[in-house]
Chain A
Amino acid sequence: MSKLRNVAVVGFAQAPIVACDEHHTAQEMLYPQVRRALADCGVERDAIDYQVAGSADYIDGRPFGFVAALDVMGSWPPRQDLHLEMDAAFAAYYAWLRMQAGDCDSAMVVGYGKVSEGSPEHVLNLQLEPYYLAAIGLDVKSTAALQASAYMARSGATDDDLAEIAAHNRAAGARNPDAQVRQAATAEELRRTPWAVQPLRTGYLPPVGESAVCLILAAEGKAEKLCSQPVWIHGLDQRAEMQALGGRDLSRSASTALAAQKALAMAGLSRADEVDLLELSAATPAEEMIVREAMGLDAKGSTRPAINPSGGPLTGHPILMTGLIRLGEVFRQLSGGAGAHAVAGARRGIAHASQGHCLQHNLVFVLGRERRWS
């Protein structure tokens, strides 16, 4: 592998996650975030070389939903541009690759989408193989329940364990002003919520919501000018698995394990617990346990490193933005902007993004306050 460039997150702005913003279009939600992220870097739009967006037409309920975002991203004069039909964290991954190719020194990464325009259950059913699987009517809660069952059967995890994980996230989310659900709940309270799809209770499922996110990346030399504490990307990797739910071991996440191993190796680390905090795109407590295990961490209970100090997806899950928000949260933590949910003294962190049913496709970033390569 040739020499890698140091690239950092230098700006981040996020609309608070809500179930439905009745007063704004997706573009109106995004525009203030673009302005805030640029303002934080002290620059105007022309100072940024490249732009890449992540969103999905089915979330907006119309084809070409991303076209209208060009205007609020300031695409005049014309900009070097790409749009990914993916969680916007993958747009950040691609912007990093683009900087490694040497074509640009800075990039704006945005994520947006109004899930309230449609029905998430029906939309996410359409992610499944169309001829046999989607036609059954499986939704994301049912596939998540299959995965939770598989994990509990293998590991011996109990309903109480799931409740504890959910309660931990809820307690953290109460300190995050951008979270959608800000009421803490005890494990006992959550364990008394009704079944959604066994073994998942309504209290173990994420509130689906909408937001808009803008993140600015810059390469060494430019990053230091845009941000007093850039948060450097030390390592990253992403892996997809075949979708076939019967063709893989749903109790494990092989793609997360491989992506984490590669990202940690790039960062010069051997273990995920060498970082101070992790933000995980796990949409249920069972998914969180599977992801923790795939990264070589305790599946439950530990206090170091900190897991989801923002409250994670269980306190706000804007579909296909959840991963980019994890990256933004690690930036906030390591640059000193996390406020009431700050992890004291945090110097390194991991941001994890996931999309698809049953943790099908996973992306891992390892980040730190110091430059990785000299």
Chain B
Amino acid sequence: MKRPVAVVGVGQTHHGSRRADVSIAGLVREAVDRALLDAGLEHKDIDAIVFGKAPDMLEGVMQPEQFLVGAVGGHLKPVIRVHTAGSVGASTALTAVTHVASGLFERVLTIAFEKQSEGNAMWALSPNMPFVAPLVAGAGGYFAPYVRAYIARSGAPPHIGPMIAANARDNATRNEYAHLREPITVEDVMNSPMLWDPIRYLDTCPSSDGAIAMIVASEATAKKGPRRPAWVKSGYSYAEAMWVPGRDQVSPRAGKVCVKAVYDGAGITDPWNQIDVAEIYVPFSWFEAMWLENLGFCDVGEGWKVVDRGEQRFGAQLPINPSGGVLCSNPIGASGMLRLGEAALQVMGRAGAHQVEGAKTALGHAYGGGAQYFAIWIVSSEL
């Protein structure tokens, strides 16, 4: 990047199954108001706006950012709308970073949202492509075979996914914004109905309404701000083709290439020991073990063992998803930016009851498509 970029404000909504108290514009505005307040800025201070969300079919509005321009103070400002499937919230924040890094913008407002109660996510995520047999099984039906492949390769025992799900719920009890805040046990998960073998009902993320907004700014603005900023050390988004023979969806090459670029950019050579906390995209419990390997936190086949030893729990060596993550709140288009925003809050020292003590370096991650799109950043408490 040509010049330093920092997160100077973060605002998120309370997440829920149905935020019937607000329209889409009201939901987005709630996050934007909190982010501006957090940064000590006003609408007039914002130079450009970067929107992201997952498929427009989730709410049934084509390019909803167009009608939202007025609601977020965007009149006569530059506006961009990103869509990179499930990774979109994260790639949206990185697009805002590019705006500032280019030298043309000082303060950029970036917003990601989903109001899933306005539509039917299961339908919207079941693309019926011309000339391809329809799966109509949502994301769980798509990803279950790769979870089975992971288990077959690694020999992971059946309680690993349920351990991850129970840990996520435990973490979310400390996050006031989370959608699902009721604790569950490993037994609860293992006794819940099987949806897509081996993914059970409680291994699965909820369908949420929610939004997050952040303000990304130049060094000069960050140093003037009321609070300690989160400095963006490195961030990249990568994608890979769908129909490549031998493409590995258990540990996609795009994820490995992306995280290597991010680590190289941030000077990370030993991620397990150099990173203090990570927010990663885990819509189905087993993916936490899978991503631990793909992100280079451990060797291939070792991800489930890290979980089994509890080394990724809150208070342990490398807390993963102390917010509760996607398993406890999943407004799809916002979920990726929530991962990056939570990573920023951790290094700002403002993650509330789920703050990881002394966190200086944090990773935020999201993936999307058929495990094809990846967007990752590293943020730090120091420039």
Contacts and interface: CB of A to CB of B under 8 A. Distances in A.
A237 B241 CA distance: 32
Kindly state the interface size class of chain B when it binds its partner.
Answer: 35 or more
A130 B239 contact: no
Contacts of A239: 76-78
A77 B69 contact: no
Contact of B257 (A77, A123, A241, A360): A77
Contact of B63 (A56, A75, A79): A56
Nearest to B92: A82
Contacts of A57: 55-57, 62, 83
A357 B63 CA distance: 11
B358 interface: no
A57 B369 CA distance: 14
B62 A126 contact: yes
Interface string B264-303: 0000000000000000000000000000000000000000
A25 interface: yes
B29 to A, nearest CB: 13
A361 B66 contact: yes
B373 interface: yes
Nearest to A262: B78
A70 B240 contact: yes
Contacts of B254: 78
Interface stretch (A94-102, A148-156, A173-181, A343-351): A94-102
Interface in A56-77: 56-58, 62-64, 66-68, 70-71, 73-77
A359 to B, nearest CB: 12
Given A100-B102, A240-B69, A85 B63 contact: yes
Given A67-B372, A85-B82, A127-B62, A240 B77 contact: yes
A20 interface: no
B108 to A, nearest CB: 11
A2 B60 CA distance: 41
B79 A63 contact: no
B103 interface: yes
A255 interface: yes
Nearest to B128: A62
Interface stretch (B93-101, B148-156, B205-213, B317-325): B93-101
A244 interface: yes
Interface in A210-269: 237-244, 247, 254-255, 258
Contacts of B66: 127, 240, 243, 355-357, 360-361
Given A71-B241, A102-B101, A84 B83 contact: yes
A96 B217 CA distance: 19
B264 to A, nearest CB: 13
A129 B28 CA distance: 14
A79 B2 contact: no
Given A85-B63, A126-B60, A130-B60, A75 B240 contact: yes
A100 B91 contact: no
A124 interface: yes
Nearest to B3: A2
A244 B77 CA distance: 15
A356 B63 contact: yes
B127 interface: yes
A134 interface: yes
B93 to A, nearest CB: 12
Nearest to A71: B241
A82 B77 CA distance: 21
Contact of A81 (B3, B243, B373): B373
Interface in A102-160: 102-103, 117, 123-124, 126-131, 133-134
Contact of A70 (B76, B242, B258): B242
A83 B375 CA distance: 12
B366 interface: no
Contact of A242 (B74, B238, B253): B74
A77 B3 CA distance: 29
A26 B357 CA distance: 51
Of listed B60, B103, B241, residue having the most chain A CB within 10 A: B241
B61 interface: yes
A74 B244 CA distance: 10
B220 interface: no
A117 to B, nearest CB: 8
Contacts of B370: 67
B194 interface: no
B242 A71 contact: yes
Contacts of A272: none
Contacts of A101: 1-2, 98, 101-103
B82 A62 contact: no
A103 B56 contact: no
Contact of A127 (B63, B124, B240): B63
A257 to B, nearest CB: 10
A156 B77 CA distance: 30
A81 B67 contact: no
Contacts of B95: 82, 94
A114 to B, nearest CB: 9
Contacts of A124: 62
A290 interface: no
A90 interface: yes
A327 to B, nearest CB: 16
Contacts of B1: 101-103
Nearest to A3: B103
Interface string B40-70: 0000000001000001110111111011011
Interface of A: 1-2, 4, 25, 56-58, 62-64, 66-68, 70-71, 73-86, 90, 93-94, 97-98, 100-103, 117, 123-124, 126-131, 133-134, 237-244, 247, 254-255, 258, 355-357, 360-361
Interface of B: 1-3, 23-24, 49, 55-57, 59-64, 66-67, 69-70, 74-85, 91, 95, 98-99, 101-104, 118, 124-125, 127-131, 236-244, 252-254, 257-258, 369-370, 372-373
Given A58-B62, A84-B83, A101-B101, 10 more contacts: A1-B104, A57-B57, A58-B57, A62-B129, A81-B373, A86-B80, A98-B98, A103-B98, A240-B69, A360-B66
Nearest 9 CB-CB pairs, A to B? Answer: A242-B70, A63-B55, A78-B254, A81-B239, A100-B102, A2-B103, A101-B101, A129-B67, A78-B240
26 contacts: A2-B103, A57-B55, A63-B125, A63-B127, A64-B85, A67-B370, A70-B239, A70-B242, A70-B372, A74-B241, A75-B240, A78-B257, A78-B258, A81-B237, A82-B84, A84-B80, A84-B81, A86-B63, A98-B98, A101-B2, A127-B66, A130-B24, A130-B61, A131-B23, A258-B76, A361-B69
